Structure 1
Amino acid sequence: MNRRAMIKPATFKPKTFLAGLALAAALPLAACNSAPKEEPPLAGAKIGGPFTLVDHTGKTVEWKDFAGKWRIVYFGYTWCPDACPLDVGVMMNGLHKFAHDHPQQAAQIRPLFITIDPERDTPARVGEFAAAFGPELTGLTGSAAQVDQAAKAFVAYYARGKNMPGGGYLMDHSRIAYLMDPAGQPVAMLPIDKGPEAVAADLARWVR
């Protein structure tokens, strides 16, 4: 048998061989890119909607003013002795950790603190509270009717508690930090109960 006759040098074409390798390498990437995107936990939920409130300067702020930005929305009150400062602290520390590794994406996020105690939380008061956690956080208040409209839009529970000895009162309220996409649609509830690292991980998971 003439082995030289079976294998001809001309049958090996370097350009064709390299092109084949490039195509083979691209196939796994194409398969990965074609995989369906993960569905957000709150996709399709009736959460979020128009509101009109005021910021720390007394300027009118509407939900539509944040269109095109990712948003984190938390309802609480500045006189809260424990839960609100804890939750907002975790939320903002998580955002700062995310910003360290993803500065461009983090710049597209607007965290909002909306009071559920407009009787005591003046614009100046919510402004001071928000500023204590970082310049990114916007504190919002308004009339009782405006706050109620916003809370109902985000399915946020709140109720005034009993008067305390010596004056003052506490507020009962839900403790949820909603992540909303640039179109104003709900994406997920950030895990503020699990610490800043968990919040940062969820932001990295959804904010693109």
Structure 2
Amino acid sequence: MRAFLPILTFAAATALVACGPQTTEGTAGRAGPTVTSGAADIGGPFTLVDETGAVVTEEAFKGQPTLVYFGFSYCPDVCPIALQKLGVAQAQMGDAADAVQFVLVSVDPERDTPEQLAVYVTNNGFPKGLRGFTGTVEQIDAMKAAYKVYAQKVPLEDSNMDYTVDHQDLVYLMGTDGQLASYYGPRQTPADIAVGVRQYLMANN
């Protein structure tokens, strides 16, 4: 069932962050995303590979609710914090967590190889069973467009990293039908996420 949901006003107020040695956070990130009413138009076909090198498509988001975060392994602060928040939320879900899939989709495909993600997703505090998806630049760009994801390379001066990636700081809850069910911004707590997921499961049993 495709839910009638608030959708994100991405162009005006998506929560954005800059990952890097001089991390900044705009007012949109502090205030949280603005929403408007309408049918969620986020999602669609994609072809990527997971941390084992196996091909994955949009079918990976069907059959069980999935919490999806778009980030990258070289992100020094925002991404680890968001993924640790998901780890806490997973613990707070209790038995309900067994029904939920957790996925990191890389917005830095040039550096995030399957091998790199295979190590990264096992970091302490991240959700247990976290999967990592990556692909070619073209494949990631196509998924970013389908999922209305903002992410852009930014050159870094006076750093051993050639560049960082500005990107949104949002977690998508994709429903069992592969459609957007809800989303969580920087101001939502792990408890908010856990409650939202449990409510989704109760409503869709």
Fold shared per TM-score above 0.5: yes
**In structure 1, distance between residues paired with 2:107 and 2:185:** 21
How far has the Cα of 1:139 moved from its partner? 0.6
Equivalent position of 2:112 in the other structure: 121
Deviation at 1:165, TM superposition (A): 1.2
Matched, 1:139 2:132: yes
Q: Structure 1 length normalisation: TM-score?
A: 0.74
Q: 1:81 aligns with which of 64, 76, 83?
A: 76
Structure 2-normalised TM-score?
A: 0.75
Matched, 1:165 2:158: yes
Report sequence identity in percent: 31
**For residues 69 and 75 of structure 1, what CA distance do their matches in structure 2 show?**
19
- Per-residue CA shift, 1:117-142, capped at 9, x if unaligned? 01111111112111211432101111
Q: Which structure 1 residue ranges, 4+ long, deviate > 3 Å from structure 2?
A: 38-43
Of the three residues 197, 200, 204, the one matched with 1:206 is 200
Within 5 Å, give how 1:94-109 maps onto structure 2: 94-98=89-93, 100=94, 103=95, 105-109=96-100
**What is the CA–CA distance in structure 2 between the aligned matches of 1:88 and 1:75, rounded to whole Å?**
10
- Give, in whole Å, the separation in 2 of the partners of 1:115 and 1:138: 11
Q: Is the 8 A contact 2:90 2:127 kept in 1?
A: no
Paired with 2:61 and 2:191, the residues of 1 have a C-alpha distance of 26
Query: Which of 154, 179, 195 is equivalent to 1:185?
Result: 179
Match of 1:28 in 2: none
Report the secondary structure of 1:65's partner residue. helix
Instruction: Give the drift of 1:206.
Output: 1.7
Aligned alpha-carbon RMSD (Å): 1.8
Specify the structure having the higher radius of gyration (Cα).
1
In structure 1, the residue matched to 2:28 is: none
Say which SS state the counterpart of residue 153 (structure 2) adopts: strand
Q: What residue is the counterpart of 1:197 in the other structure?
A: 191
* Residue 101 of structure 2 is aligned to residue 110 of structure 1: yes
Contact 1:50 1:63 in 2 (8 A): yes
Q: Which amino acid aligns with 2:136?
A: S
- The structural deviation recorded for 1:174 is 0.6
Task: Compare 146-155 and 62-71 and name the one that shifted more.
Answer: 62-71
Larger proportion of helix: 1
Give distance in 1, aligned partners of 2:114 and 2:140: 13
Counterparts of 1:199 and 1:192, CA distance in 2: 11
Aligned partner (choices 63, 72, 83) of residue 68 of structure 1: 63
Instruction: Give me the whole-angstrom Cα distance separating, in 1, the residues matched to 2:51 and 2:4.
Output: 36
Task: Tell me the distance in 2 between the aligned counterparts of 1:185 and 1:66.
Answer: 8
**Partner secondary structure for residue 69 of structure 2:** strand
Output the CA distance in 2 between the equivalents of 1:165 and 1:193.
32
**Cα offset for 1:185?**
1.2
The secondary structure found in structure 2 opposite 1:107 is helix
Displacement of 1:89: 0.9
Structure 1 residues 59 and 130: CA distance shift in structure 2, 3 A: same
Are 1:52 and 2:47 counterparts? yes
* Residues 54, 41 of structure 1: alpha-carbon distance in 2 compared, 3 angstrom cutoff: same
